[in-house]
A and B are shown apart, each in its own frame.
Chain A
Amino acid sequence: MNILKVLRDKPWVHSTASATLEQYSGPDPVAASQIMLRFVLAIVSVLFFLFIITFLSRSQYPDFEALAGSPWQPFTDSSRLWFNTALLACASLAIQWGLGGSRSGKLNITVAGISAAVFFTLLFLVAQFDLWMRLQSMGFYLSGNPANSYFYLLTAVHGLHLIGGLVVLTNVVFRVWYNHNIDSLKAPLKLCTTYWHFLLGVWLVLFALLTSRPETINALAAMCGF
């Protein structure tokens, strides 16, 4: 749909085109869900964009100490975060595998894919929580420094979005379970897959930001005019 063409339409010019089309019988639920998901992704993007903008703005105040860059900062060695990232990437791959299974009508692969995705996602959440505990034990408390605050805040918001995704995915799986119809799984599973890939993308951006050295953060902030 070319929006500019639509907006140039002259509705007062009469046309009989609508009378020649086939009878319309109501909205297409799959297309409607796709549109809704696009809006959800846009909203979540705006949410994280705003958090990141405030992060960059706040980073320019003297009390901000980035979590990477100096040897005593926890993410100078970011191997632990790489491990967590790998878990989320596995979840993303697994759900894509499950989607492939549902497309080719293979119930076993679909179930295995979804189960693995749920497993890896839960593992990621546990691993993130464990990371919180480690930071606490190292003395990096929530209110200790704005960089710490942002780490806890952004990972919590990201985790909540994953939990929301898990709730929706569970709902979809149970509905299919009761209907005994794998075909009805395809469309909602595709939407869940898109959502999982999107949250992996968001995490990669957060990962890059939270493990950036002060010089990188300062350069980004300067680009934004802070």
Chain B
Amino acid sequence: MQNVAIADQPDELHDPQTFITKYVYSQDHKVIAIQYGITAIFVGLVALALSALMRLQLGFPDAFDFIDPSSYLQFVTMHGMIMVIYLLTALLLGGFGNYLIPLMVGARDMVFPFMNMLSFWFYLLSVIVLLASFFVPGGPTGAGWTLYPPQAILPGTPGYDWGIILMLVSLVIFIIAFTMGGLNYVTTVLQARTHGMTLMRMPLTVWGIFTATVLGLLAFPALLVSAIMMMLDKTLGTSFFMPALVSLGESLDYSGGSPVLFQHLFWFFGHPEVYIVALPAFGMVSDVLATHARKNIFGYRMMVWAIVAIGGLSFVVWAHHMYVSGMLPAFGFFFATTTLIIAVPTAIKVYNWVLTLYRGNIHLTVPMLFSIGFIFTFTHGGLTGLFLGNVVIDLPLSDTYFVVAHFHMVMGVSPIMVLFAAIYHWYPLITGKMFDEKLGKIHFWFTFLGTYAIYLPMHYLGFLGVPRRYFAMGSTDFIPESAQSLNASITVSALIVGLSQLIFIYNVFWSLRAGKPAGHNPWEATSLEWQTPDVPPHHGNWGPELPTVYRWAYDYGVPGAEKDFIPQNHPVTESEQTAGEPEER
């Protein structure tokens, strides 16, 4: 177990030379991050294409022969699972976690680089197994991303045979990959911070990723337990979750199992998963906002406390996903209360982001636009969450498009806005090139306005009672015909937003080749990752000597300072010492 990172061995302070050791079999956290990023974005584009197919069916029913009810459910399932697990979790933690943690805390690499590399290869394997389910008899599972038994493994559900097995195997492999990566992230934060980098001097990005990783390490076992037990129910005929039932006229051998037990396990993982995605996004958006508003983050300590509090509370709200599952009604009161409580630290964060902008020197750069866009989308998604967190409001809205609109705003669009902000913000560091600003802004406005064009009307469809996961509405009395026109308009918006992502892809590749050189610290940021001797940082990050940290990561606009930012590795001057304690920031 005792291992010294290659980059920490004094005689190894040189870059790997061959293509294989540099780009494929690499233990460098930056290369692993990029490997994670490319894989996650690739599989995310697959999920985006699946959502376009779903929208085509919903907007223009029966216009496309190749979309039938089974394949529609398969698209829904794969879209959801890929987006939540294989794109968002992997990109935020595997991608940005890997890239930023060592650089932001002043380490040369992750503490266990070999295990870090294995983490990526396991992740890639999990993606391959998942995508393989498109090519097996029966296709991928169509059980919905929650994979609820008994329907997930019974005939009648698409992919009930091979599809569900491959999904469960893929999830188990992903959890192994996440655990190996996660152990690295937490250990590196706790053990490999450079000289002077106290926990409370860490940028909020690191706090967000660190707390999310701890959540993941403790929550993913619940998914593992449910996956293993469902696999046994499917393959070996146990009855952990499967009740006695008759399927297609035949009495099955199952007896007495509890589907609700699966739901508890799944959501014990599922709700922390929301924050596994959200907390890194909260952290990164805080840093982007402070940098581009040229102002220290408002209420740093409160932001850290809120991250930790949200992390703790996220384990006691899971059953608000299960108000209609038939659990003990008294539980509803408890979980509605905890859900309202978790809104408090979350709201504190939103206020602090807005107050960071207040009287800041706001630069409307592309990362800043996406960050401000995030504040809007997250506030809207969060507010509808308050509706759904209350039992009496949730009951009529459950399983309608209101829920779909809510979770897409809060967990789909919002983290993705931050991901774009983060990619545009750290692109100069990762590649050494600037992206094209104009294309970036076009990308932002299409994405931001487009998502509102999709999800605002979707809330209304939910109020009308349009149910989710239906292949076609059919003739339903309570849904007016105009709902179909709304559906068509949502589909057109979704296709435009989907296609506008090609602008982003083009910008990434074009700028890589023809972008202006970024130079050193183009955003004039204070945090440590921008203070490396080389851009992009070389293997080992810091040259012969590790940096020393003298201050927190938010010294922007310090009165009397030469520039409007002071990097973390700049010593404290006499005048700063004598200035005494500044007011509470």
A interface residues with partner B (beta carbon < 8 Å): 6-16, 18-19, 21, 23-33, 35-37, 39-40, 42-43, 46-47, 50-51, 54, 57-58, 61-64, 142-143, 146, 149, 153, 157, 168, 172, 184, 187-188, 191
Contact = CB atoms under 8 A, between A and B. Distances in A.
B225 A143 contact: no
Contact of B1 (A15, A50, A64, A188): A188
B115 to A, nearest CB: 9
Interface residues of B, number: 69
Contacts of B549: 18
A152 to B, nearest CB: 9
B504 interface: no
A191 B186 CA distance: 18
Contacts of B581: 10, 13
A142 B258 contact: no
Contacts of A18: 195-196, 548-550
B108 A149 contact: no
A13 B583 CA distance: 9
B239 interface: yes
B85 interface: no
B580 to A, nearest CB: 9
B261 A21 contact: no
A8 B222 CA distance: 33
Contact of A19 (B112, B228, B550): B550
A15 B573 CA distance: 10
Interface string B48-77: 000000000000000000000000000000
A11 B240 contact: no
Contacts of B195: 18, 21, 23-24
Contact of A149 (B238, B253, B552): B238
Contacts of A149: 232, 238-240
Interface stretch (B198-206, B389-397, B427-435, B465-473): B198-206
14 contacts: A7-B305, A10-B200, A12-B296, A16-B572, A18-B195, A19-B572, A26-B108, A29-B2, A32-B187, A37-B1, A46-B221, A54-B225, A149-B238, A184-B2
Interface in B536-558: 545-546, 548-552, 554-555
Interface in B146-201: 179, 183, 186-188, 190-192, 194-196, 198-201
Interface string B553-583: 0110000000000000001100011000110
Contacts of A58: 240, 257-258, 261
Given A7-B304, A29-B4, A62 B187 contact: no
Given A14-B551, A50-B265, A29 B296 contact: no
Contact of A32 (B191, B222, B225, B265): B191
Interface string B245-259: 000000001011110
A46 B300 CA distance: 32
B111 interface: yes
Contacts of B5: 26-27
B253 A33 contact: no
Given A14-B577, A27-B8, 20 more contacts: A7-B305, A7-B308, A10-B301, A11-B300, A11-B551, A12-B296, A12-B300, A15-B572, A19-B571, A21-B196, A24-B195, A24-B546, A32-B187, A35-B190, A36-B111, A36-B187, A58-B257, A62-B256, A153-B228, A153-B229
Q: Which 5 A-B pairs have the closest CB atoms?
A: A18-B196, A24-B195, A63-B256, A11-B552, A27-B192
B540 to A, nearest CB: 10
B528 interface: no
A113 to B, nearest CB: 18
A223 B196 CA distance: 48
Contacts of B571: 16, 19
A184 B3 CA distance: 11
Interface string B466-498: 000000000000000000000000000000000
Contacts of A64: 256
A188 B4 CA distance: 13
Given A12-B300, A29-B3, A43-B221, A35 B187 contact: yes
A55 B333 CA distance: 26
B369 interface: no
Contacts, number: 170
A47 B225 contact: yes
Contact of A54 (B190, B240, B296): B240
A172 B3 CA distance: 11
Given A10-B301, A19-B550, A27 B572 contact: no
B546 A25 contact: yes
Given A18-B548, A42-B217, A42-B218, A36 B112 contact: yes
Contacts of B257: 58, 61, 146
A167 to B, nearest CB: 11
B200 A6 contact: yes
B217 A57 contact: no
Interface in B98-115: 107-108, 111-112
B224 interface: yes
B359 interface: no
Contacts of A54: 225, 229, 240, 261, 265
Nearest to A191: B1
Contacts of B308: 7
B8 A26 contact: yes
B585 interface: yes
Nearest to B199: A6
B20 interface: no
B546 A26 contact: yes
A142 to B, nearest CB: 6
B218 A46 contact: yes
B217 to A, nearest CB: 5
Contacts of B256: 61-64, 146
B256 to A, nearest CB: 4
B217 A63 contact: no
Contact of A43 (B8, B217, B238, B545): B217
Counting chain B CB atoms within 10 Å of each CB, which of A11, A15, A58, A157 scores highest?
Answer: A11
B237 interface: yes
A143 B238 contact: yes
B577 A27 contact: no
Given A64-B256, A149-B240, A12 B232 contact: no
B2 A33 contact: yes
A40 B1 CA distance: 12
A21 B190 CA distance: 19
Contact of B198 (A11, A36, A39, A184): A11
Counting chain B CB atoms within 10 Å of each CB, which of A26, A43, A61 scores highest?
Answer: A26
A14 B572 contact: yes
Contacts of B200: 6-7, 9-11
A218 to B, nearest CB: 16
A40 B108 CA distance: 24
A27 B110 CA distance: 10
A126 to B, nearest CB: 22
